[in-house]
Amino acid sequence: MPSTVKFNGGLNRWLQRMISAIFLAGQTVVHLFRAKINRPNTLDQMSAVGPDSLGIALLTAAFVGMVFTIQVAREFLDFGAGQAVGGVLGLALTRELAPVLTAVVIAGRVGSAFAAEIGTMKVTEQIDALYILKTDPIDYLVLPRVLACCFMLPILTIISLITGILGGLIIANNLYGISQSLFLDSVQNFVQVWDLVSAVLKAIVFGALISIIGCSWGLTTTGGAKGVGQSTTTAVVTALLAIFIANFFLSWLMFQGPGSAFLG
């Protein structure tokens, strides 16, 4: 019985924080159109989201590209379709793997930092101090983080896409004897402009979700240091769930109907 009460209480608390996150998203949009952007904070957050996260994002993309090629190349060669290995890798990375995995990395690294930083400010009453100083926390804390994620995540996604294709190229060429020209021509033939546009659009949406959830969970933190830890963990889990759910609906909207990649 106590465990059931605790579960229901935790679920209610989570739903309340989700509603708060939705309202925060709306407030952020309103503040964005008012053009109240704190440039120093925004540049600092862009550095944290972009250059500081580049290494782990590229390492992840490179190994994902290599592993995917190992899994696919042997089967395709058995069917005499070795010329399609590069294209299939390019499609998988562009449409799904690059934007989703890059967002997962950023959610774990940056989303948790947002929740921890703002949560610490909340429990130490620094947020209240901002109100006393007539500084809106949304302008000072939330908006710079949202802009940083929405701007830097698409860039990281494109760089990760290129890195993943290069990783797959190395494996295909050295382990399976697929020439570089054949591999790259396949990528060029399969991957269309809309695939690249979809990757960028997904990255923007994922960036908004990560930043809004991280900031909202930070702003609703209670309970001292223990509460900060719980907010950080819950923010990351919620952001990951939001990424996967949003990815389903975005993919459903973007890629309905029969495809044409294999017909060219």
> Which pLDDT score is estimated for 264?
43
Dihedral sign for Cα 20, 21, 23, 24, please.
positive
> Which pLDDT score is estimated for 13?
84
Question: Residue 85: inside a domain, yes or no?
Answer: yes
> Cα torsion at 178, 179, 182, 187 (round to 10°)?
70
Question: Residue 109: inside a domain, yes or no?
Answer: yes
Domain that holds residue 80: 40-249
Question: Residue 79: inside a domain, yes or no?
Answer: yes
Count of all residues that appear for the chain in the document: 264
Question: Residue 258: inside a domain, yes or no?
Answer: no
Instruction: Identify the segments of the chain with pLDDT beneath 50.
Output: 262-264
> Which pLDDT score is estimated for 263?
45
> Which pLDDT score is estimated for 145?
95
CA atoms within 13 A on the CB side of 244: 6
Question: Residue 255: inside a domain, yes or no?
Answer: no
Question: Residue 170: inside a domain, yes or no?
Answer: yes
Question: Residue 203: inside a domain, yes or no?
Answer: yes
> Which pLDDT score is estimated for 7?
58
Q: Indicate the pTM of the whole model.
A: 0.90
Q: Which of 237, 244, 261, 264 is nearest to 108 (CA)?
A: 237
Question: Residue 13: inside a domain, yes or no?
Answer: no
Q: Give me the number of domains the chain comprises.
A: 1
> Which pLDDT score is estimated for 261?
52
How do residues 62-104 score in pLDDT, each as one tens digit?
Answer: 999 999 999 888 888 878 777 889 999 999 999 999 999 999 9
